[in-house]
Amino acid sequence: MTKAKSSAEKRPVFHCQQCGDCCAGRGGIFVRPEEVGDMAAFLEMDEPEFYRRFVESSPLGNRLTIANGVCVFVENNRCRVHPVKPFICRQWPFLPALLVDAEEFEAAKGACPGINPECSHADFVDAALQAGKNNP
Ligand code: SF4
Ligand code: SF4
């Protein structure tokens, strides 16, 4: 008899549906100085100009600005700085808050259609560890 596959085996834990919702930056697209340097270099721009045009301060740290409801780098539904996008963007949806808090993870399922809605928190954490998503 063939063993029935679990839900997580039928569908990957995460498969991006390209909906673009995560680029709305509702939680803040936080950037580190070295990431600003990389993005400024990619855009052939000096860092002070990059900060002036694309970064705003917040109580939790510097973050990319939002324009028309989405990250300032959304252009034709694509990321203008994709090769050097911030770690938080490369890490999504495997954010620390979702890895340590099962309720946060369940809430994220409603925001990101790429997360398998039947996936358990344990499977999500395993997938993050296997993908090395917990390391910058
Ligand atoms: S919200 Fe999820 S499915 Fe949509 S683009 Fe972002 S990662 Fe992909
Ligand atoms: S930097 Fe790119 S991936 Fe990150 S939120 Fe902005 S457009 Fe989306």
pLDDT in tens, 54-105: 999 999 999 999 998 999 999 988 999 999 999 999 999 999 999 999 999 9
pLDDT at 48 over 90: yes
What sign for the dihedral angle of Cα 65, 68, 69, 73? Answer: negative
Using CA atoms, how far apart are residues 125 and 133, in angstroms rounded to an integer?
10
Nearest to 87 by CA among 38, 51, 136, 132: 136
Amino acid residing at 53: R
Using CA atoms, how far apart are residues 43 and 80, in angstroms rounded to an integer?
9
Residue 8: the pLDDT is 45
- 77 Cβ inside 6 Å of ligand 1: no
**Among 16, 119, 133, which is best to mutate for testing ligand 1, by the most ligand atoms less than 8 A from CB?**
16
Lowest-pLDDT range, 38-42, 67-71, 84-88, 131-135?
131-135
pLDDT tens digit sequence for 91-104: 999 999 999 999 99
Nearest to 93 by CA among 135, 136, 35, 133: 133
What sign for the dihedral angle of Cα 94, 129, 105, 136? Answer: negative
Q: Going by CA atoms, what residue is nearest to atom 8 of ligand 1?
A: 16
Residue 27: the pLDDT is 80
Q: Compute, in angstroms, the gap from residue 22 CA to the centroid of ligand 2.
A: 8
